[in-house]
Amino acid sequence: MLYVIILSLLLQGFLWVTCVEASEADLEWNEAVGLAKQGENDFAFMAFRGVLDDCPSSPHCLAAAFAQGEYYFLQNNLSLASDEFKDFYAKYPQHQEALIALIYLIKIAQLQQHPDDMKEYRSKAASFRQLIFIFNDKKYFKFLSGFQRKHQLVYYINKVELYVNGQLFTKVSL
């Protein structure tokens, strides 16, 4: 009986800790998103960093990590943005958000006039996902970033287009 009590207490403690962490992550995430909505991008960036540091297993980490690269990109700090998106691609290679990061990297390489990098990222984008179109001729993927920008990937047989807030950001031939 004693063992059962101890075990249930331990289990309760474990659940309590994760619940606390989950709620803390939600709070931090909500705070960061709120700051982003208010246009306080610098504070929002720090808050997203906090989500990554304080709650590394939170489901918000993917978007928070993406927001790191997005912040530097919006700041026009292309070099740091590139580093962050490379980290993101390395960390989440099997998520479609990684393709969005790759497209950002292509755009950055294009702005920095680094044709070799463009070629490398284009090649990675082309082999990122195998697409099969039977009855439809395009596929979609939507992602709302930490800075509340609506990202939409539109896949075709021979190209991928990325729209940000409804505007064509860039397209990549496959």
Partner 1 sequence: MLMANYLQRFLFKWKYTILILLVTGAMGTAFDFQVNRWLTPYSLALANAIGQGYQTKITFETVHYHFPNSIILKNVKIFSPDKKSPMLQASRVTVGVLNNIAIDGMAIDLPALKNYWVWYGNKIYARTKGLPPENIRLLVSNGQFYPHGLANGDPIGFKMDLRLDQGSFSAHGSWGLQSSLDLWGRWHAHSIDWKGFIFYDKFYILDIDGNLNAQGKDIVLKKLTFSLNGDNVTASGHFLRQDFFQCEADVTFKNTRLHFYAHNTRQGLVFKGTFDLQNAHLAFKDLMARIINGHLLKLRIKQMQSNFSIHGNEYRLPLEDLWASIHLVNPDQEDIALSAKIYAGHLHGRIFLNTASVPWQVKGQGQFEGIDMAGHGLLSGKFKLQAPQDMELTGSVALHHGNFNGSDLQQWMAKTLQMPSLGHVSNADISSRFTINGKLKMLDDLKLNTEDFELSGFFHLDADDLVSSRNSLRFSQKLLGESPLGRRLIGLVSGAWTLPFEFSLSGDLHRMNFQWDNSPLKDRVRQHMFGFIERMIDQRVDAYSSYKVTIPNESVSPG
With binding defined as CB under 8 A, does residue 133 bind partner 1? yes
List the Cα angle 96/97/103 in 5-degree steps.
100
Instruction: Name the minimum Å distance from CB 144 to partner 1.
Output: 21
- Name the one range near partner 1 by CB under 8 A: 1-9, 21-29, 63-71, 89-97: 89-97
- Name the one range near partner 1 by CB under 8 A: 20-28, 30-38, 55-63, 121-129: 121-129
With binding defined as CB under 8 A, does residue 89 bind partner 1? yes
CA distance 27 to 45: 15
In this chain, which of 49, 129, 149, 171 binds partner 1, going by CB under 8 A? 129
Instruction: Name the minimum Å distance from CB 162 to partner 1.
Output: 17
Q: Which of 120, 153, 122 is nearest to 138 (CA)?
A: 153
With binding defined as CB under 8 A, does residue 113 bind partner 1? no
With binding defined as CB under 8 A, does residue 37 bind partner 1? no
**Please, which residues have CB within 8 angstroms of residue 159's CB and are 6 or more apart in sequence?**
171, 172, 173, 174
The size of the interface with partner 1 (CB under 8 A), counted in residues, is 33
Distance of CA 11 to the CA centre of its chain: 33
Instruction: Name the minimum Å distance from CB 155 to partner 1.
Output: 8
Contact, 17 vs 47, CB < 8 A? Answer: no
With binding defined as CB under 8 A, does residue 91 bind partner 1? yes
Stretch (H or E) spanning 153: strand 150-155
